[in-house]
Amino acid sequence: MAKIYIRTLLMLALFALIISCAAQIPKKTIITPLNVTPKLETGQYVQDADILYVILDASSSVPASEDGRSDINLAKNIVSRMNHTMPDITINAALRAFGLGECLYNKDTRLLYGVTRYSRDSFQKSLDSVTCVANKSPMEIAINAANEDLKPSEGKIALVIVSDGVGVGNGPIIAAENIKDAYGDRICIYTVLTGNSYEGETLMTKIAKVGGCGDMVREGDIAAKKDMAKFVERVLFAMASDSDLDGVKDDLDQCPGTPRGMKVDSKGCPLDTDGDGVYDDKDQCPGTPAEAKVNAVGCWVLKNVTFDTDKWNIKPSFYSDLHEVLTVLTKNPSLSVNIQGHTDSVGTVRYNQILSQKRANEVMNYLVGKGIAKDRLTAVGYGVSKPVASNKTVEGRAQNRRVELSPVR
C-alpha cells in the first residue's frame, strides 16, 4: 500500500513539473515583415540603402538582460527581430560576427553571410549558426574586414553594429573612420547598444557619429515591434523631398505643386503626350500633330485666322497661317483633318450654324486648292455651341469667330 501511495505522489509531482515547465515556455512572438510599398508608391519614401551590412558581437562581454536572455542570445535576438521585420525589397546583405570561438572557426571575425542578395531565411540560418561565445571583443577587426568585404560593391551602405561596446578600446572608432573615408556619403553607420554600460554607450555613440548620417539606439528603444519597424525604416529608407507627392524629388522637379494624383513625366511635369505644350489634364484635343499651333486647351486652331462679323471669307493676310497647316499636312501624309467652324453669339442659333459651316467650307476649299486631297478633309459647323471666350466682350466674340482643326488618323 505504501508503494502505491509513493508511486502516486511521484506521478503527481512529475505531472506538476510538466505543467510548470509548459507554463514557462514563452509564447512565440510573430513578427511580420514591414510593408513600405504604399509609401514607396506615393513617393513618401525612397530606398536609401542598397546594402545592409550587420556586425554582431559574439563575445561573452555581451551582458545578460533582465528577462534572462544572456550573452550572445541577446544580440542575436535583436538581429533576428530586425531580419523578420525586413520588408520585401531588393537589397544585398551581409552578416559578420566577431569574437574568438569555435563557431567562428577560432577566428577573431567571420563573414557568415554575403555580401549577396538578401534572403530572410538564408540570413536567419546564418545567424542561427552562432551558438557559442568568446572572451575577446575584436570589434575593430570586424569593421576593418567589412571595409574589405564592401570594396567590390556599388550603391549606398547601411552598416549596423550590435554590441555592448565593452572592452574594445578606441580601435573601433579608428576603424569606423577608415571605412567612412573609404565610402564617404555612400555609408551610414547605425549602432545598437546591448546592456547599460556607460563605457559601451559612449563608444557606440561615437562610432555612429563617425558615419554622419546614422545614430545609436539602445536595445530597449527598439524592443517593441512598432519601434523596431521604425528603426528598420530609418536604416533602409529616406523620406523623399517630394512636396507635391508626384514621385519626383523636389531637387529634380521642374513643375512643383502638381495636383495630387496627376500623372507626371520624369521631370515632375504633367504629361503632354502629343507635345503641343498643353498638359494632358487640360488638353481637350489629344493627338495634335507636330508643329500644329494650339489654343489654351490644346486644340489645333488657326490662331490668326478669324472672321469678321457675319463673314466667312479668308483675308489674304491670313494665308501665311494657312501655309503652316499645309506644311503639317504635307509632313503627315496619313493624317486627315476635320475642319470645325465656330461663331460668336450674335444672331440666331440657326443662322450661326449655317455661318459656321460656310467658314469651315472656305478653309477646306483653300486647302484643296493648294493640293491637299479632298478625301483627307471634312468640314463641320458648330455654330455658337463651343465658345473659347466670353461672348459678352468685343475681344471675346472676336476669338469665337474662328476655325479649329481636329486631326483624324
Using pLDDT thresholds of 50, 70 and 90, give the confidence band for residue 176: very high
Q: Which residues of 197-226 are buried (b: 16+ CB within 10 A; e: fewer)?
A: beebbebbebbbebbeebebbebeebeebe
Which strands form 377-381's sheet, in the order they lie side by side?
300-306, 402-408, 336-341, 377-381
**What mean pLDDT comes out for the span 234-258?**
77
pLDDT confidence of residue 25: 45
Name the CATH code of domain 28-239 (choices 3.40.50.410, 3.40.50.720, 3.40.50.1580, 1.10.1660.10). 3.40.50.410
Residues 6+ apart with CB under 8 A from 179: 143, 144, 146, 147, 150, 159, 187, 189
pLDDT confidence of residue 305: 74
pLDDT confidence of residue 298: 81
pLDDT confidence of residue 15: 55
Q: What DSSP line would sit under 210-265, residue for residue?
A: HHSS--EEEGGGG-SHHHHHHHHHHHHEEE---TT-SSS-TTT-SSTTPPTT--B-
Q: Give the CB-side neighbour count of residue 176, counting CA atoms within 13 A.
A: 26
* Single-letter amino acid, residue 3: K
- If one compares 397 and 304, the residue with the highest pLDDT of the two is 397
Residue-wise pLDDT for 261-302, tens only, equals 778 887 888 888 888 888 887 888 887 887 777 877 887 776
User: Crossing angle, helix 198-211 and helix 171-183, to 10 degrees?
Assistant: 10
Bridge pairing between strands 45-47 and 237-239: antiparallel
Residue ranges per domain, the chain?
28-239, 300-408
* Single-letter amino acid, residue 400: N
Using pLDDT thresholds of 50, 70 and 90, give the confidence band for residue 167: confident
Residue-wise pLDDT for 152-163, tens only, equals 999 999 999 999
Task: Report how far residue 85's alpha carbon sits from residue 56's, in angstroms, rounded to the nearest whole number.
Answer: 17
Angular region, 103: left φ>0, alpha ψ -120 to 50, beta rest? alpha
Q: Nearest-CA neighbor of 406 among 389, 391, 386? A: 386
**What mean pLDDT comes out for the span 133-140?**
78
pLDDT confidence of residue 66: 46
Residues 6+ apart with CB under 8 A from 69: 77
Residue 248 has pLDDT above 80, yes or no: no
For residue 350, the tally of other CB atoms under 10 A from its CB is: 9
Residue-wise pLDDT for 2-59, tens only, equals 555 555 555 555 555 554 544 444 444 566 787 777 777 666 778 889 999 999 998 8
- Dihedral angle of Cα 105, 109, 111, 115, to the nearest 10 degrees: -170
Residue 322 has pLDDT above 90, yes or no: no
Q: What is the CATH number of domain 300-408?
A: 3.30.1330.60
Q: Nearest-CA neighbor of 372 among 314, 333, 316? A: 333
Residue-wise pLDDT for 392-402, tens only, equals 999 999 999 99
Q: Mean pLDDT over all residues of the chain?
A: 84
Q: Do domains 28-239 and 300-408 have the same CATH topology?
A: no
pLDDT confidence of residue 67: 47
- If one compares 228 and 131, the residue with the highest pLDDT of the two is 228
Residue-wise pLDDT for 355-406, tens only, equals 999 999 999 999 999 999 999 999 999 999 999 899 999 999 999 999 988 8
Residue-wise pLDDT for 73-125, tens only, equals 889 999 999 999 999 899 999 999 998 677 677 688 999 998 999 999 999 99
